[in-house]
């Protein structure tokens, strides 16, 4: 069996970034820990009482184990498959690290298909995406500047964008509201997490000034690939129409107020990146025609290249901010290493599920994406705990969880909890590690879901469905109560 993180890959990561030190204690092999006691079929008090007191509809499943040995300490519906939500990103991070290695870097290139004569490129200029999920307008501006420094000021041929390094999709999940920025497109080239910044401000004539920008820290060029119109309707607040080569958004005037801003998803990622690069190139004195999509990657020579951070940094940020696009691109890029023929996100997720079964014996997992956003992904709490117990080196990449409860109940002293959260409508999950100053370290997974209520939500109410916020709040309370009990009983 191939180890997930060998000494060689760890040392390579250490040489490139101090952050990779988190993997210094990675195991030589990663196998599913075998429980040293039969899996309990019924909870023992007080966990039963905690679940009952929470009065949550749906199902609550969890498992907790000794993080060093994999010994299962307690479980409830530990083998029942449930939606992992964003805790799936932990699996994706491990998958990407195994298939791509910690020091992998995503790169974006510009190359020429012809010679450069007196500043004129006699051929096509091609913007070549490498899938970089962290590419932003500022880094794209650096690439445009590097092309200018390569001696190019004009292109006689086409300006092409090649985005076929990875499969392309207009949205991660079809069940989400159309306007939410956490459900963007994905492709072999991605810019600003495939989002556009929509800003509005009321003017003196009671009209609105609006901008649609590819905003970053240094640069904020406008884009024509995403267009906005203000309409006099009661609902919906946002409406979307897919154009032939651009996004057409509509917003209800009544919802705007005096001023504001929000991010919207981009559905044409390659044309968006090309449109922004064209603007940035023009600011550097390079005249380009409008971008066109390239089906095939032609022969040519590299003019310039920009790279993103090493993979361990990309994944650390993904787990901290729970960025769905980063998860999808990391998973797709990992699946691509199996060879050609990767056609879809769902196929890639299937490859990751197969990888998990092979490495950890988690035979019940079923994934439809790499972020956990889609409704089709399922795994059990027991499966998640098996993966965590075999990969304790991921713990420093997870956020700290404060176990303080209301009514003046402070967090237990001498213990740290690092975990990944996951939240969808009527789905709440938490998976991670309990590390006491003295005592037994634990790994755990808590999955809660009321899929019947989730599936009954009409599309127009999915952004803020009635009752979902209260349900999620009580779920988080229960998660803390359970962990506090495990700290008292098992550490």
Q: Would you put residue 456 in left (φ > 0), alpha (ψ -120 to 50) or beta?
A: alpha
* pLDDT tens-digit readout, 82-101: 999 999 999 999 999 999 99
Give the global pTM: 0.90
**321-324 contacts, C-beta under 8 A, 24 or more apart:** 322/86, 322/89, 322/420, 322/421, 323/133, 323/193, 324/172, 324/182, 324/183, 324/184, 324/371, 324/373
Q: Residue 310 — pLDDT band, cuts 50, 70, 90? A: very high
Q: In the chain, pLDDT over 70 holds for what percent of residues?
A: 91
Q: Would you put residue 46 in left (φ > 0), alpha (ψ -120 to 50) or beta?
A: alpha
Note the CATH number of domain 7-102+312-490: 3.40.710.10
Cα→Cα distances 290→122, 189, 482, Å = 17, 17, 57
What is the DSSP code (8-state) at residue 411?
P
Q: Residue 31 — pLDDT band, cuts 50, 70, 90? A: very low
* pLDDT tens-digit readout, 370-410: 999 998 999 999 999 999 999 999 999 999 999 998 877 89
Based on its alpha-carbon atoms, the radius of gyration of the chain, rounded to whole angstroms, reads 24
* pLDDT tens-digit readout, 311-339: 999 999 999 999 999 999 999 999 999 99
Hey, which residues does 248 pair with through a beta bridge? 227, 241
* pLDDT tens-digit readout, 224-258: 999 999 999 998 999 999 999 999 999 999 999 99
Q: Residue 19 — pLDDT band, cuts 50, 70, 90? A: very low
For the chain, the domains span 7-102+312-490
Q: Give the Cα separation of 337 and 314 in Å (integer).
A: 18
Contacts of 215 (CB under 8 A, 6+ apart): 137, 192, 197
Whose structure tokens read 């450069």? 116
């Amino acid at each position: 069996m191939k180890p997930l993180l060998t000494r060689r890959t760890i040392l390579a990561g250490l040489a490139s970034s101090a952050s990779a030190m988190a993997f210094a204690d990675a195991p030589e092999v990663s196998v599913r820990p075998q429980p040293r006691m039969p899996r309990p079929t019924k909870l023992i008090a007080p966990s039963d009482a905690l679940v009952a007191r929470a009065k949550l509809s749906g199902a609550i499943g969890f498992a907790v184990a000794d993080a060093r040995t994999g010994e299962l300490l307690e479980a409830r519906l530990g083998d029942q498959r449930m939606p992992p939500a964003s805790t799936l990103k932990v699996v994706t991070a491990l998958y990407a690290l195994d298939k791509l290695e910690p020091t992998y870097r995503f790169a974006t290139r510009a190359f020429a298909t012809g010679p450069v004569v007196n500043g004129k490129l006699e051929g096509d200029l091609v913007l070549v995406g490498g899938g970089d999920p962290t590419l932003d307008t500022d880094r794209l501006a650096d690439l445009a500047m590097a092309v200018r420094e390569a001696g190019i000021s004009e292109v006689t041929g086409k300006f092409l964008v090649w985005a076929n390094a990875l499969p392309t999709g207009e949205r991660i999940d079809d069940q989400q509201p159309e306007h939410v920025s956490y459900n963007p497109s994905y492709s072999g080239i991605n810019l600003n997490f495939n989002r556009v910044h929509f800003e509005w401000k009321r003017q003196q004539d009671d009209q609105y000034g609006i901008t649609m920008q590819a905003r970053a820290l240094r640069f904020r060029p406008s884009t024509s690939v995403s267009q906005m119109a203000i309409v006099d309707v009661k609902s919906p607040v946002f409406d979307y129409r897919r154009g032939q080569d651009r996004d057409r958004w509509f917003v209800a005037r009544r919802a705007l107020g005096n001023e504001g801003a929000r991010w919207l998803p981009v559905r044409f990622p390659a044309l968006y990146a090309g449109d922004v690069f064209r603007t940035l190139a023009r600011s550097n004195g390079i005249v380009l025609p409008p971008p066109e999509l390239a089906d095939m990657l032609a022969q040519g020579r590299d003019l310039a290249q920009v790279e993103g951070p090493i993979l361990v940094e990309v994944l650390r940020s993904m787990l901290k901010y729970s960025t769905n696009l980063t998860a999808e691109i990391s998973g797709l890029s990992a699946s691509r290493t199996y060879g050609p023929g990767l056609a879809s996100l769902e196929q890639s997720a299937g490859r990751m599920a197969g990888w998990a079964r092979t490495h950890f014996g988690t035979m019940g997992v079923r994934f439809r994406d790499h972020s956990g956003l889609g409704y089709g992904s399922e795994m059990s709490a027991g499966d998640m705990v098996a993966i965590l117990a075999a990969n304790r080196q991921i713990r420093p990449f997870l956020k700290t969880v404060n176990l303080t409860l209301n009514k003046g109940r402070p967090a237990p002293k001498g213990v740290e909890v690092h975990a990944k959260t996951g939240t969808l409508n009527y789905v709440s999950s938490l998976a991670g590690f309990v590390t006491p100053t003295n005592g037994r370290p634990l790994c755990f997974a808590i999955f809660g879901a009321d899929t019947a209520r989730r599936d009954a939500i009409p599309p127009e109410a999915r952004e803020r469905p009635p009752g979902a916020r209260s349900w999620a709040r009580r779920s988080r309370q229960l998660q803390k109560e359970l962990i506090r009990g495990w700290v008292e009983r098992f550490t």
